[in-house]
Structure 1
Amino acid sequence: MKLFTAALGTETHTFAPLPTDTAAFEECYLVRGGNHPDDIHMIGVPLVIWRDHAKARGWEVVESLCTFATPSGITVRKTFETFRDEILADLKVALPVDGVILSLHGAMVAHGYDDCEGDLVHGVRELVGPGVPIGVELDLHCHLSRQFIDDVTAVVIYKEYPHIDAAPRAEELWKIMEATLDGKASPVITMFDCRMIGVYHTTREPMISYVKKMQEMEERDGVLSVSLAHGFPWGDIPEEGTRLMVVTDGDETLGRKVAEDLGREFWSLRDVVTPVFDDLDTAVGKSLSHSGKPMVLADMADNPGGGAVGDSTFIVKELLDKGERNFAVGSIWDPISVEIAISAGEGTGIGLRIGGKISAESGDPLDVKATVKKIVRNCVVDGLGASKRNLGDAVCLDVEGAEIIIHSARCQNFNPTTFTALGIDYASKKILVVKSMQHFYAAYEPVAGEIIYVAAPGTLAWDFSVMPYDKVARPVWPVDEDPWATNEERPW
């Protein structure tokens, strides 16, 4: 057997101010030919798993490009086309192959392409022909188009948010693809459109039980995989929305029933699956009176993992204005201030204007008098699971006792190693401000006294009922109060 693997991904916030260019991929993660470093990115983890399994079977693996960019605005057309064409060119050289397995995200939008993954997979299908199985692993914040589903053989989607299960889902997809290549399975994909847009944390009920129920359904005879595609609410394309996807072993009727039953159940939970958010004043007010283990304030609206810039100042300014100093911020993207601080050197007192540089959604810059406490070049910290993330050059600033990290490479906060790498004793702090929506949760929950999701101003607006959608298929909740009032099928 001969397999071809590749990975290409980003998550596109179509309203975000920064475009996603080639440099964004190069800065985050880009390797070729399977030459992964020890600090492997999450999107590359499945490729290593599949390679190891294939080699154990004595199968040949040809690995092409593996690259990911921190989520941002619409991807530059030339960037997408260049990466897509590189993968297809490598595949053409590798032909004939017996199977293709791809690690993608599922919400990449480029100028001229609403469905980048669908376009890539269609190109793969045209090269390998109708009989070669194509398996794909996706992030649960994915969009699913008819073109994409028609072209692939099997899809497995992360079940957990935060995404702590990239490796287990890669194992799940491998089992399906291995059985298919051995002639022991004939995957069929079915889908149910929940007609919903939202964000759903799997760390709280009822999502914990719902994920467990999906996994229990996978124990049924004939069911190979069950996935909930949450969708990415800040991607304005026709395929945006929540869908229940089932992969069965040749039984389309079973797949449709399981998908619809679970999908309608999820629709019935719409009012309770959405997390509870606090506005800025409420969140900061709670933090000022907090005692014990650190309170974590999640700056969701400025989460670089959702396409925000990562340089907003709203929460930090509010804490400073209230006179609070026993807090740490991880972190603010500000390459210019990083260069100035590095030039000054550790131990130097300087005046800096930090954050608030890209747009009105970033807030006002903070003019501070700071001491450069610690400098770390090429600062690598823990990501999700065993994966690593690069902050670029990072600096810890001491601002009247408050410790603020500034860094040069856009990245959200996944893990307290973001603080310890810069010499910050996070456990001694009253408050920790993290630029993240939910991926921080797995690592911070054990060390936090309380976690507050802060709906501060920022790029990631939270009222989806009034989002300026132009392309999203209608009707859909909460834009439309009752999308089931008509039996007319939404296009997807």
Structure 2
Amino acid sequence: MTHSPSKRIFVAAMATETNTFSPIVIDRRAFEESFYAGPGAHPSTATLCTAPIPVGRKVCAEQGWTLIEGSSAWADPAGLVSGQTHQDLRDEILDQLRAALPVDAVVLGLHGAMVAQGCMDPEGDLLARVREIVGPDVLVCAELDPHSHLTAKRVAAADFFVVFKEFPHTDFVERAEDLWAMVVETLNGRMTPVMSTYDCRMIDVFPTSREPMRSFVDRMIGLEKTDPKVLSISAIHGFMAGDVPEMGTHMIVVTDGDAAHGAALAEKLGQELFANRGKHMMPQMDERAAVAAAMVPHDGPVVLADMWDNPGGGTAGDATVLLRELMTQGAKGAAIGTIWDPIAVKLCMAAGEGAVMPLRFGAKSAPMTGDPVDALVKVVTLSKNAEMIFGESVVPFGPAARIALLDADGVEIGIEVILNTVRAQSYDPSLFAVMGIDPLAQKILVIKSTNHFYAAFAPIASEILYCAAGKPYPNDPATNPYRFVRDDIWPRVENPFAKDA
């Protein structure tokens, strides 16, 4: 292999997803509990938004380039990031960048939906400061989560973005590889990336596990392969729980020096998305109908998704609405993973495995999450550091306790619950297996996730039911009590493009 002249590239990551309606403030400890690695300490496997770091190691080794690694931090979604935590993480990365100068490129792993106390656009703030440090001629790019906000400040500061295409996000490593491939071609003088964007003026949810989004993403991938001017196509879904002025759906097209072609294609694809507005979301059931449907005999476990109590969307993950309905309808062979309750876990830890005890748990975080459950329980399994897998990542959710609910005579009623300390959505059946529950042996698996669970649970599920139980998450953009989101966006208005006619 013929190497190009040696280059110096700085890479770092700062990411979380902020539900501005969530009461759970993210501090430095929240990042450290989920994922934090100092310079050079990132493991060989990626953690969602940090994929540019391990992928960059391989690429720079192949090219004979120098990779200078900064810090990487990821916090599981919640509410606002504390102002001090945001400033400390940002300034840590900026100081590392200054120490690394001169550099030929800056490659970042960002989520794109972070909101901090006193700063509505932390990623835009970081990118603008990076650009100020390195000047106008150094390549600046980033990988983003599609559930992000594409602000004008970010677009102005970066040369290009590459965004996960899949929801569930099974492709974050592949998209980091795409990002780095463009970095290599650009620094070697073989392409000139130009980013064009289009505002779709809509708020929606776009699971790629079903139509019409599945075909749309396949077309994006096809156009990247067949259109010689196109380098990358991305859809920014937006994040409806982020009450910020520039929230909403956008298209990104990166071309090789042809901004007009990119703009025309971005508009064409964006209008296709808009034409399908309201058709992307998976069908939903209320808790009564969902539990009744799940209790019909099936050949294998029914996966019941508590889709709006999703810690991956910033909620606490402690709603009890579905559990109550399972108890009311007398369900048996059901396992719930998880209900977030650090205090209940501590009490179970103190009692020990095998203990039978009265326990109050769940529904402590916010309104519309149900009521706390008071039950006689048996502590079945305890873990000081429970983890599940998500693609190539490892996701912590412990300390954790597996409890079995008992009747007044101390007999198990057929419902087990995993209580966790570190909030995390239900990505994978290993969530149950690590606590000693065989997911294949259950009749009903209740998980807390909107759609990230799909790739891992679909192969074992006899049926998947999406349940809208309570309203711990602001899931209706037409009526959500936004303060900052603009009014000229669907579904807040029927046709936001009318004024352009």
State the TM-score, normalizing by the size of structure 1: 0.97
Q: Which runs of 5+ in 1 are unaligned?
A: none
Q: Which residue of 1 aligns with 2:409?
A: none
2:60 is aligned with what amino acid?
A: A
Q: Does 1:325 align with 2:332?
A: yes
Q: Which residue of 2 aligns with 1:243?
A: 250
Please identify, of 45-54 and 130-139, the stretch whose mean Cα deviation from structure 2 is larger. 45-54
Q: Using the TM superposition, give the Cα deviation of residue 40 of structure 1 relative to its aligned residue in structure 2, in angstroms.
A: 4.8
Q: Using the TM superposition, give the Cα deviation of residue 99 of structure 1 relative to its aligned residue in structure 2, in angstroms.
A: 0.5
Q: Using the TM superposition, give the Cα deviation of residue 46 of structure 1 relative to its aligned residue in structure 2, in angstroms.
A: 2.4
1:317 is aligned with what amino acid?
A: R
Q: Using the TM superposition, give the Cα deviation of residue 356 of structure 1 relative to its aligned residue in structure 2, in angstroms.
A: 1.1
Q: Does 1:223 align with 2:230?
A: yes
Q: Which residue of 2 aligns with 1:477?
A: 490
Q: Using the TM superposition, give the Cα deviation of residue 289 of structure 1 relative to its aligned residue in structure 2, in angstroms.
A: 1.7
Q: Using the TM superposition, give the Cα deviation of residue 194 of structure 1 relative to its aligned residue in structure 2, in angstroms.
A: 0.8
2:102 is aligned with what amino acid?
A: P
Q: Which residue of 2 aligns with 1:447?
A: 460
Q: Which residue of 1 aligns with 2:3?
A: none
Please identify, of 41-50 and 241-250, the stretch whose mean Cα deviation from structure 2 is larger. 41-50
Query: Which of 366, 379, 393 is equivalent to 1:387?
Result: 393
Query: Which of 25, 29, 46 is equivalent to 2:31?
Result: 25
Q: Using the TM superposition, give the Cα deviation of residue 17 of structure 1 relative to its aligned residue in structure 2, in angstroms.
A: 1.3
Query: Which of 86, 98, 105 is equivalent to 2:104?
Result: 98
Structure-2 separation of matches of 1:485 and 1:128? 42
Q: Do the aligned partners of residues 77 and 425 (structure 1) sit closer, same or farther apart at CA in structure 2, a change above 3 Å counting?
A: same
Q: Percent identity?
A: 43
Query: Which of 79, 84, 88 is equivalent to 2:94?
Result: 88
Query: Which of 246, 262, 269 is equivalent to 1:255?
Result: 262
2:476 is aligned with what amino acid?
A: D
SS at 1:422's partner residue?
Answer: coil
How many residues are treated as equivalent by the alignment?
487
Structure-2 separation of matches of 1:140 and 1:44? 15
* Contact persistence 1:300–1:460 (CA under 8 A): no
Structure-2 separation of matches of 1:25 and 1:346? 30
Q: Does 1:343 align with 2:320?
A: no
Structure-2 separation of matches of 1:373 and 1:238? 48
Q: How does 1:51-450 map to 2 (within 5 A)?
A: 51-219=57-225, 220-383=227-390, 385-399=391-405, 400=412, 401-450=414-463
2:370 is aligned with what amino acid?
A: G
Provide Cα deviations, 1:2-61, integer angstroms capped at 9, x if missing partner: 000000000001111111111111110000113124675222332101111111111111
Q: Which runs of 5+ in 2 are unaligned?
A: 1-6, 406-411
Q: Using the TM superposition, give the Cα deviation of residue 93 of structure 1 relative to its aligned residue in structure 2, in angstroms.
A: 0.6
State the TM-score, normalizing by the size of structure 2: 0.95
Structure-1 separation of matches of 2:330 and 2:365? 26
* Contact persistence 1:154–1:177 (CA under 8 A): no
Structure-2 separation of matches of 1:473 and 1:360? 26
* Contact persistence 1:312–1:458 (CA under 8 A): no
Q: Using the TM superposition, give the Cα deviation of residue 266 of structure 1 relative to its aligned residue in structure 2, in angstroms.
A: 1.0
Q: Using the TM superposition, give the Cα deviation of residue 235 of structure 1 relative to its aligned residue in structure 2, in angstroms.
A: 0.4
2:347 is aligned with what amino acid?
A: I
1:269 is aligned with what amino acid?
A: N
Structure-1 separation of matches of 2:52 and 2:91? 22
Provide Cα deviations, 1:206-238, integer angstroms capped at 9, x if missing partner: 111100111111120110000000000110111
Structure-2 separation of matches of 1:127 and 1:102? 15
Instruction: Kindly report the root-mean-square deviation, in angstroms, between the aligned alpha carbons of the 2 structures.
Output: 1.2
SS at 1:259's partner residue?
Answer: helix
Structure-2 separation of matches of 1:424 and 1:161? 27
* Contact persistence 2:162–2:179 (CA under 8 A): yes
Structure-2 separation of matches of 1:355 and 1:485? 46
SS at 2:478's partner residue?
Answer: helix
